[in-house]
Structure 1
């Protein structure tokens, strides 16, 4: 079974749902992540709802126990190794879902643009389950239904990662076990507001639920 995430139109910027773009939700007092390479504030990419076992929620209306928020440096794209799960150019955070609130954005330096913090659009996500266990096949099946556009596939929740290059499943830095795959993301349906994964790349989110750790990387 593959659960596709498909574009469902503009979304609410601070909704407690799986979405791309908008405003991150976090516990009070959380600091906006900064890039370990350049020290600049990162761009918020996406929010994923998880259950108590750290698995992505693949059915509409299911309550979330945890939330993953993913950030990536876009201060000088390509210079901070933002594709790496360990270099510090991106950050994936796990929170319990209780008491979350919009995370205040940091002040920008004079001349800095708001797009270093936020994507240009909020994309709502619709869930589309398919019996195929292969992500690529499920995408093609969905695109073959009616007038569906393949570019409107935003990724998948759970399942198996569809690596563009060699497998890069991260190891949890706390327990040293391989992390569990959470979600795969495509850049987005509109290139002017898309996430930057090197041009037609794919991104991968992982978690270690017992250690409350998460990781993110992308390939192209």
Structure 2
């Protein structure tokens, strides 16, 4: 089951200041620049809250697309007891606008066989299902800015990341799209973002593809 989300009046936070436990320390880039990362998203899931950080201090210098580069970080927090955190004074740390996002469960409907031997991609079907909602009251397909749950769309098995702490298997948690507003979009290099989590270690991994 996929839960695509779009900008709306309530739901997970897309951009803005992160909420975290009081002992939280802002993550810094472990790749090239060593500066504080930019906060991308606050994603409530059934087992807690996922916070996604990606380095944007010198775009192109740090390998944000690589889950093992140190240029991105995914943290799993408990669902309660979170507070707004202090933002570092230097570095590219926040996106220029904050929005709430609304999730909707979308039923996947297989389209007619077009003769292609490849199985249909579930995320593509979910986005199409969103567009077909009555009266398009949930927006058009391009307004979907990600999904919670399901499986990683078009991601090769050899790119599935392990946990940065225990090296164990991570589970897929979410897709992230750049967004429809070029002035406030996340910089994903025009690609799709993938969020993974290791529940026992309370952290995860991020990559683009």
Give the TM-score normalised by structure 1: 0.80
- Aligned position for 2:36: 41
TM-superposed CA distance for 1:178, in Å, is: 2.0
TM-superposed CA distance for 1:98, in Å, is: 3.1
- Aligned position for 1:160: 151
CA distance in 1, matches of 2:164, 2:61: 24
CA separation of 1:190 and 1:162: change in aligned 2, threshold 3 A = same
- Aligned position for 1:28: 22
CA distance in 2, matches of 1:181, 1:166: 13
User: SS where residue 129 of structure 2 aligns?
Assistant: helix
TM-superposed CA distance for 1:47, in Å, is: 0.7
Aligned length: 192
TM-superposed CA distance for 1:89, in Å, is: 0.7
- Aligned position for 2:97: 121
CA distance in 1, matches of 2:68, 2:56: 16
2:180 aligned with 1:180 = no
User: SS where residue 174 of structure 2 aligns?
Assistant: strand
Q: Contact between 2:161 and 2:205, CA under 8 Å: does it hold in 1?
A: yes
TM-superposed CA distance for 1:91, in Å, is: 0.9
CA distance in 1, matches of 2:173, 2:182: 24
Q: Contact between 2:149 and 2:173, CA under 8 Å: does it hold in 1?
A: yes
Alignment of 1:1-220 (within 5 A): 1-8=1-8, 17-36=11-30, 37-52=32-47, 66-108=48-90, 116-132=92-108, 134-145=122-133, 146-147=135-136, 148-163=139-154, 166-167=156-157, 168-199=159-190, 201-219=191-209
TM-superposed CA distance for 1:105, in Å, is: 0.7
CA offsets per residue over residues 113-144 of structure 1, 9 Å max, x none? xxx11112222211121221811012122223
Gaps of 5+ in 1: 12-16, 53-65
- Aligned position for 1:59: none
CA separation of 1:198 and 1:102: change in aligned 2, threshold 3 A = same
Gaps of 5+ in 2: 110-121
TM-superposed CA distance for 1:155, in Å, is: 0.8
TM-superposed CA distance for 1:151, in Å, is: 2.1
TM-superposed CA distance for 1:29, in Å, is: 3.0
TM-superposed CA distance for 1:49, in Å, is: 1.2
Q: Contact between 2:49 and 2:76, CA under 8 Å: does it hold in 1?
A: yes
CA separation of 1:175 and 1:118: change in aligned 2, threshold 3 A = closer
Give the TM-score normalised by structure 2: 0.84
CA distance in 2, matches of 1:193, 1:170: 28
User: RMSD across aligned C-alpha pairs, in angstroms?
Assistant: 1.9
